[in-house]
């Protein structure tokens, strides 16, 4: 009977997963090709699908089957795939059953409309257009957090962080961010004091978007992204959408100058896509793991580690440019004529405080994340009112990065996340950087000559290592446990600081020790 119960439970999860994949497809379409006039209808579609999916995931039958499976010793044997599956199913079920269906539908409906409002407000640099929607979204998310409940000794924000990074709390993240912020600020100061001026002329050549797109597609394929079950499109804010088994969709954005902005956003989303393609989803049929936790990403911090690794540790390396620069001529023509790999390496590893997070260098990127963490935490607590967001944003950017924000389009309207209702998401970007750096040191220990392989365009060994050590496990292990299993140590900021200082030393001559 236990096998029968478990099989039925997995079948119900697969149905819910299929509904979620339909919603993902609608979301991808809304951000790429959907006409603007379709927004009201799309918001109703999203609300209905969210309500139906929630109903399926929280049904009494799912609860009964889960309870029965948890009583079976054969299914709960420590270390077994079934036990890990049931652990995560229980977690998801308990969280979902705390949310009323009307709230789930309201969040889906409101965020669908808010996304459209954000896009228009950003294009017109008009925060007032987005403000009513930000107010509504924050109100709904506060209700959601209250339904989840505040952990003992914690705060409402913890309930939302837990959706993206299970077990993490605002206090723990603050304890990591505070000393890390000080060390990053020191690095930025040392770079400035070095007096070195990096020549970035090779990045300023005008290259048509179509040529950049062709180059990006070629790099994706060479790195292992399977375009037979994936695609690359254009949007306002780059993202990766896992529509379903064998359907992983990436987006990027282009501008004529600074072709590396699009290249690195493409590599970033590809890292997410490689992780999704490496999870053991199968083909979505009854025999596959699709819909089960074992076929899902463990956390957004681990997910982000994959994207940041391919974008920065691979894509910004000298070895990458030794391989990519000669090959780029086939796609970019003579646009980079006269540029050398060392020129590009230095140009894409500058440490320069700037306005836009997704275009920020590695040395300052995490400061952008910390600003958002502070702001959304204050918004949820009610310490900061949505109407006061622009002023708070601008003040923090001046304080942390020393830059003056000229307008809201390049300020508080630059990210899509809050229109999606993704509060608690931003800290995972820095957690991802920390995980990526720690994994990278272990990878280099276990794959001798990795740098030389990258210099020859040989990415298969790296991808195979990630498939074996990260991707195939799904949610079998929690993020911290996976990190310790892979690297032998708990998560630490030291590998990331070693990486950042090593790059800054090669470009600016600063001390590698801090």
What are the catalytic residues?
269
For residue 237, the 8-state DSSP code is S
Distance separating alpha carbons of residues 117 and 190, to the nearest angstrom: 41
Distance separating alpha carbons of residues 311 and 309, to the nearest angstrom: 6
Q: 331 in helix, strand or coil?
A: helix
Residues 6+ apart with CB under 8 A from 63: 93, 97
Distance separating alpha carbons of residues 270 and 227, to the nearest angstrom: 11
Strand partners, 252: 234
C-beta neighbour count of 447 within 10 angstroms: 14
Phi, psi of 315 (to 5 degrees): -65, -25
Distance separating alpha carbons of residues 112 and 394, to the nearest angstrom: 27
In order of 187, 188, 195, the CA distances from 508 in angstroms are: 11, 11, 8
DSSP 15-55: HHHHHHHHHHHHHHHHHHT--GGGHHHHHHHHHHHHHHHHH
H or E segment and range at residue 102: helix 101-124
Strands 230-234 and 247-252 come out as parallel
Residues 6+ apart with CB under 8 A from 153: none
Cβ burial of 363 (10 Å; 0-12, 13-18, 19+) is buried
In order of 27, 77, 297, 434, the CA distances from 294 in angstroms are: 24, 16, 8, 24
CA 299-396-177 angle, to 5 degrees, is 40
Contact 299, 88 (CB under 8 A): no
- Give the start-end residues of each E strand in 191-253: 230-234, 240-244, 247-252
Burial 40-79 (b: 16+ CB within 10 A, else e): eebbebbbebbbbbbebbbeeebeebbebbeebeebeeee
Contact 420, 295 (CB under 8 A): no
C-beta neighbour count of 430 within 10 angstroms: 27
Comparing CA positions, the residue from 507, 201, 202, 231 lying closest to residue 361 is 507
């Amino acid at each position: 009977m236990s096998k029968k119960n478990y099989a039925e439970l997995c079948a119900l999860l697969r149905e819910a997963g299929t509904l979620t994949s339909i919603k993902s497809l609608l979301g991808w379409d809304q951000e790429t090709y959907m006409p603007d006039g379709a927004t009201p209808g799309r918001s109703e579609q999203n609300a209905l699908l969210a309500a139906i999916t929630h109903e399926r995931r929280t049904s009494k039958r799912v609860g009964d089957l889960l309870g029965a499976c948890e009583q079976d010793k054969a299914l709960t044997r420590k270390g077994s795939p079934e036990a890990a599956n049931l652990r995560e199913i229980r977690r998801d079920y308990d969280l979902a059953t705390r949310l009323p269906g009307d709230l789930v539908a309201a969040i889906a409906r409101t965020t669908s409309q808010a996304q459209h409002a954000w896009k228009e407000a950003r294009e017109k640099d008009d925060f007032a257009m987005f403000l009513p929607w930000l107010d509504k979204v924050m109100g709904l998310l506060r209700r959601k957090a209250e339904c989840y409940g505040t952990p003992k000794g914690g705060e409402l924000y913890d309930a939302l962080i837990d959706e993206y990074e299970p077990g993490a709390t605002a206090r723990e993240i603050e304890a990591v961010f505070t000393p890390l912020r000080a060390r990053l600020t020191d690095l930025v100061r040392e770079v400035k004091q070095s007096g070195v001026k990096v020549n970035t002329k090779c990045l300023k050549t005008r290259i048509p978007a179509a040529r950049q797109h062709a180059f990006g597609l070629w790099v994706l394929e060479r790195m292992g992204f399977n375009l037979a079950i994936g695609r690359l499109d254009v949007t306002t804010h780059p993202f990766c959408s896992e529509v379903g088994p064998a359907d992983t969709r990436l987006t990027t954005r282009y501008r004529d100058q600074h072709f590396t902005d699009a290249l690195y956003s493409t590599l970033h989303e590809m890292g997410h896509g490689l992780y999704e393609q490496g999870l053991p989803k199968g083909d979505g049929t009854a025999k596959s793991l699709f819909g089960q936790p074992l076929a899902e990403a463990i956390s957004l911090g681990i997910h982000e580690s994959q994207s940041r690794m391919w974008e920065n540790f691979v894509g910004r390396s000298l070895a990458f440019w030794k391989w990519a620069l000669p090959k780029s001529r086939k796609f970019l023509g003579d646009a980079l004529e006269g540029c050398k790999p060392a020129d590009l390496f230095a140009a894409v590893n500058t440490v320069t405080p700037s306005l836009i997070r997704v275009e920020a260098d590695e040395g300052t990127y995490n400061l952008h994340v910390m600003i958002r963490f502070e702001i959304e935490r204050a918004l949820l607590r009610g310490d900061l009112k949505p109407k006061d967001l622009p002023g708070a944003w601008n003040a923090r950017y001046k304080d942390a990065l020393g830059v003056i924000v000229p307008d809201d389009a390049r300020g508080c309207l630059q990210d899509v996340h809050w229109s999606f209702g993704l509060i608690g998401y931003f800290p995972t970007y820095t957690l991802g950087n920390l995980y990526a750096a720690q994994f990278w040191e272990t990878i280099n220990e276990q794959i001798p000559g990795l740098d030389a392989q990258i210099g020859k365009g040989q990415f298969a060994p790296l991808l195979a290592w990630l498939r074996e050590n990260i991707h195939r496990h799904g949610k079998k292990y929690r993020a911290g446990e996976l990190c310790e299993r892979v690297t032998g140590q708990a998560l630490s900021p030291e590998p990331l600081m070693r990486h950042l200082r090593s790059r800054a030393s090669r470009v600016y001559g600063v001390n590698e020790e801090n």
